[in-house]
Every structure is written in C-alpha cells, then in structure tokens.
Amino acid sequence: MLIPRTQFNECGLKANIPKNLSVIPPHSVELTKAKIAAISDIHGQIDIFKTLLAKHAITDKTGNWIFNDGHLVITGDIFDRGDNVTEILWFLFELEQQAELSGGKLHLLLGNHEVMVLTNDLRYLSDKYLHVEKLLNQSMTELYAPTSILGTWLRSKNVVLKLNDMVFLHGGLHPELVDKSLSLADINQLFRLYLSEKSLSEVDKNIAEYLHGIDGPIWYRGYFNEEQPIGFAKLIAHFNVSKFIVGHTSQEQIETRYKDKVIAIDSSIKYGNNGEILLIEGDKFYRGLLNGQKIQLL
C-alpha cells in the first residue's frame, strides 16, 4: 500500500509528492507558439543532461524550470548503464510539477530500459545499482514496484506522444500498425495495461504483446536502414504526421533521415562524453550543443 506523503526529502534529493501519482498524461497536444525541446537515452548521465537543460534555458543553473509554457519531451531510457538514474528520476519528478505550474509540460515517455527494469530484466544495471541491490537485499524491480512512488509514476507514462503533427517515441512505429487499426491512444492504453499486468481480452493481449515485442514502439529500429521501411508513407498518412522523432539507436549527433521525416535524437549521451538536445522553435529545428551553441538542423 502506498504511504501518503506530501514531500520527499532524503539522501539530498527533494520533491513534492502530488496526491495522485497515476494521472494518465495526454497522448496528443495541439500547440500554437510554445517552444519544444526533446532529448533521449540519458542513461544515468545527470551532469550532461542538466548541462544541456541549463545551457538552452530550459532550467536555470540550479535545475528549476524556466522554459515557461514550453514542452520538454524525453523519449525514454533514463535507466541503466549510468550511475545517477535515481537522481534523474527524482529531478524529473519535481521538474514535471514545476513545468505544470508555469503553463508548460514535461513529457516523460517510456523506453525499453524503463520497461526492462520494471519487468525484472536487469542485465544493464551499473555496478553501483548492483551494489545497492545487495545492500538493501532488494532488486531494482522491487524498488520500483507498483506500490512505490516512482514505480506508480513511471507506470502511468505513455510510450508515444503527438505534438501538433510530430510524433515522439523511443524506437519507432512499425508500418504493420496501420493494418492493426490502432490509434496512438490505443497504443498507449494497451501498452500501459499490459505493463501493469491488467486483465485483457485475448485479442487485446495479443496486440499488447506485439507492442512490447521487437517491432513495438520501444524496440523498433526500422528507421535506421538505408531504405525507408515498406509502408512508411502509409504510416505517415495513417497517423497524419510530418515527422517521427525517435531515440534508441545511437548517433554521434542529432540527424535526419528519409527526407527529414525522421529525426534521430539519441546523441550517445550514455557514454558520458557529449550530448545534444533537439530544439524546435516554430518551423525551425536546431541541434542544441553541450556548450550552449545552436546549429540549425531544418
């Protein structure tokens, strides 16, 4: 059972605890003038992450939200590899609330590494968290159980988000989804219900298993072949989008593919050496560099 709390203040980490941790975020948002920033595959590298946010005026130097009514999208993979996963999660937990109070929004989407930890696939934990497991005599999966604050919060999150005519997600949407006649809301709902081990009809269970599989939205890598996937144009039309903005597949820098219809934003932050953030201002797209420089992408 969840222990009601209004504030978390332990081990140097602070956060306000909202009354309802299970609020389902929107799957689609129409924006007019708001700025958008997107980043992916942080993998516990808190210093690079916070530097990018501060250098590009999303937070101040102390990590507080100053992006006003802007929208920050994180397309998954906070977990694994690096040593500061917990710190990043509590930071985002608080930043999400600050964004709301400013009229903005922080959209945290699940990646394959969130789902792996929540479902007891722990093969990519850093040595630090292996040590934590031994000290506490609990696995990381148990520490993020549905009865925990962060576990409840994470299980409420979407895997795909549409902002205006752009779709953000971790891996990508397979063209086969067109034949399954699923909406983005359907994808999020079925993915979430299966992750939370809710009872599903046989038909829905089969679809949910597909969504959690290798061609599902958190694992699919089909946008990184030389030729665009068969049915890609049909996929674009079905979801009425201009661009898919994805992480999961590492690049040296943010880049575009398939005549700018895919933007790849996994800039290899996981290695702890460098990283970039995508900045969208009106119809202009920029690579936000670690030194604060902006380079126009589109």
pLDDT score recorded for residue 10: 64
Q: Are 97 and 81 in contact (CB under 8 A)?
A: no
pLDDT score recorded for residue 12: 65
Q: Mind listing the domains of the chain with CATH numbers?
A: 32-296 (3.60.21.10)
| Angle in degrees, CA 161, 163, 164, rounded to 5 | 140
For residue 228, give the amino acid letter.
Q
The sign one gets for the Cα dihedral 175, 178, 180, 183 is positive
pLDDT score recorded for residue 33: 84
Task: Give CA–CA dist 11/2, Å, rounded.
Answer: 20
Q: Are 17 and 7 in contact (CB under 8 A)?
A: yes
Q: Are 255 and 247 in contact (CB under 8 A)?
A: no
Task: Pick left, alpha or beta for residue 91 (phi over 0 → left; psi -120 to 50 → alpha; otherwise beta).
Answer: alpha
Q: 51: buried, middle or exposed (CB in 10 Å: 19+, 13-18, 0-12)? A: middle
Task: Give CA–CA dist 136/152, Å, rounded.
Answer: 20
Report the candidate in 74, 94, 83, 89 with the shortest Cα–Cα distance to residue 44. 83
Tokens of 57: 């005026």
pLDDT mean across residues, the chain: 94
Task: Give CA–CA dist 109/70, Å, rounded.
Answer: 17
pLDDT score recorded for residue 5: 54
Task: Give CA–CA dist 243/183, Å, rounded.
Answer: 16
Q: Are 278 and 245 in contact (CB under 8 A)?
A: yes
Alpha helices in the chain (DSSP H): 46-55, 85-101, 112-118, 127-136, 140-143, 149-155, 184-195, 202-211, 232-239
**Phi, psi dihedral angles at 154 (to 5 degrees):** -65, -40
pLDDT score recorded for residue 69: 97
Residue 124 CB coordination number (10 Å): 16
Consecutive 10-residue runs of the chain (298 residues): their mean pLDDT?
Answer: 56 70 91 94 98 99 98 98 96 97 98 97 95 94 94 97 98 96 96 94 96 98 93 96 98 97 98 98 97 98
The model's pLDDT over 46-100, given as tens digits with 9 standing for 90+, comes to: 999 999 999 999 999 999 999 999 999 999 999 999 999 999 999 999 999 999 9
Task: Give CA–CA dist 265/107, Å, rounded.
Answer: 15
